[in-house]
Amino acid sequence: AQTVTQSQPEMSVQEAETVTLSCTYDTSESNYYLFWYKQPPSRQMILVIRQEAYKQQNATENRFSVNFQKAAKSFSLKISDSQLGDTAMYFCAFMNPNNAGNMLTFGGGTRLMVKP
């Protein structure tokens, strides 16, 4: 079974600065997908970024980028030029496409607060 661990329960950052959220996972699979989701107080999970394990290039989406270290099973999220609207819970998730259900396995989350 896969496990996803987020070791930082809470983080804070000043507006306009950069912050990195950590995620590690455990799997014996070689092909899989990793995700970062944002959950604001509205509770709706919003996909931030996705990485395919067979791609060596780190994914980027505007101010969001990842540092994917496959050998270390590490998948961190970097948020540049932090904005007040980035304040939310952030969840790292894993998906094994070889499973029939393709279910997402989530970490425990990191609460990020962006301070003005």
Partner 1 sequence: EAGVAQSPRYKIIEKRQSVAFWCNPISGHATLYWYQQILGQGPKLLIQFQNNGVVDDSQLPKDRFSAERLKGVDSTLKIQPAKLEDSAVYLCASSLAGPLRAFFGQGTRLTVV
Residues lying near partner 1 in the complex (CB under 8 A) are found at 4, 33, 42-47, 50, 91, 93, 95, 97, 99-104, 106-109
19 versus 92: smaller Cβ distance to partner 1: 92
DSSP conformation class of 50: E
Question: Rounded to the nearest whole angstrom, what is the least distance from the CB of residue 95 to partner 1 in the complex?
Answer: 6
Question: Rounded to the nearest whole angstrom, what is the least distance from the CB of residue 73 to partner 1 in the complex?
Answer: 17
Judge residue 66's burial from the number of C-beta atoms within 10 Å of its C-beta, 0-12 exposed, 13-18 middle, 19 or more buried. buried
At 32, give phi and psi (nearest 5°). Answer: -165, 175
